[in-house]
Amino acid sequence: MNGRGQLVGSELLMRWSTEAFGNVSPVEFIPLAEKVGLIQLMGRHAAHAAAQLAAAGVECGRPLPVAVNLSPKQLLQPGLDGLLLHACRRYNISPKMLELELTESALVHSMDIVTPMLHRLRGHGFSLALDDFGTGYSSLSYLRHLPFDKVKIDRSFVMDIGADPAASRLLESIVQLCKVLGMRTVAEGVETAQQLAALTKMGVDEFQGYHFARPM
């Protein structure tokens, strides 16, 4: 959602519901999938599902980009750009309809491999977003050297608005820094009208969270 209350995109979420354990959190099953070698298969499925969702939006007259997360191991996959382009061709959408989200943990190792891949993806027309910004240790370096279009500010900053003046000042500085670098900002985890008002005043470009909608 943008500051004018317009829907500007969606995000594909992967969930695992089991009879034995109920709903299993991605925090648990994603590392497990990486450990047993299933993450690339799951990543391919997610890419095609996101492309299909984007195509459905185009067909019904609501063309909205769809965000999908990439895992660290996917980024090291030599044919990642080909896989994503194949998903776009299959559902007849432009790469700009997919927004690829990466966490800082995905960037910690093998930057000599990751950096050229990100530039290739950007060159193909995919949008790149740095997810959960503020939870790692080298964020400013990533912003300077990698071709991100958007920065998603971690919900921990949003939760502390109004309660922690230092967190609010830091958040405002992050927003201004991103503007200087030409990157859009997204506040994650917006749950109240008060948070939305404060973030809008700071100049945040987009918002997501339970205040607008729960996962569907």
Question: What pTM did the predictor assign?
Answer: 0.92
Give CA torsion, residues 90, 39, 16, 150, to 10 deg: -70
pLDDT digits (tens, 9 = 90+) for 60-73: 999 999 999 998 88
Neighbouring residues of 2: CB distance < 8 A, sequence distance ≥ 6: 8, 205, 206, 207
Alpha helices in the chain (DSSP H): 26-36, 39-59, 72-75, 80-90, 111-124, 139-145, 155-159, 165-180, 193-202
pLDDT digits (tens, 9 = 90+) for 126-180: 999 999 887 766 567 778 888 999 999 988 888 888 788 888 888 999 999 999 9
The tokens for 131 are 């997810």
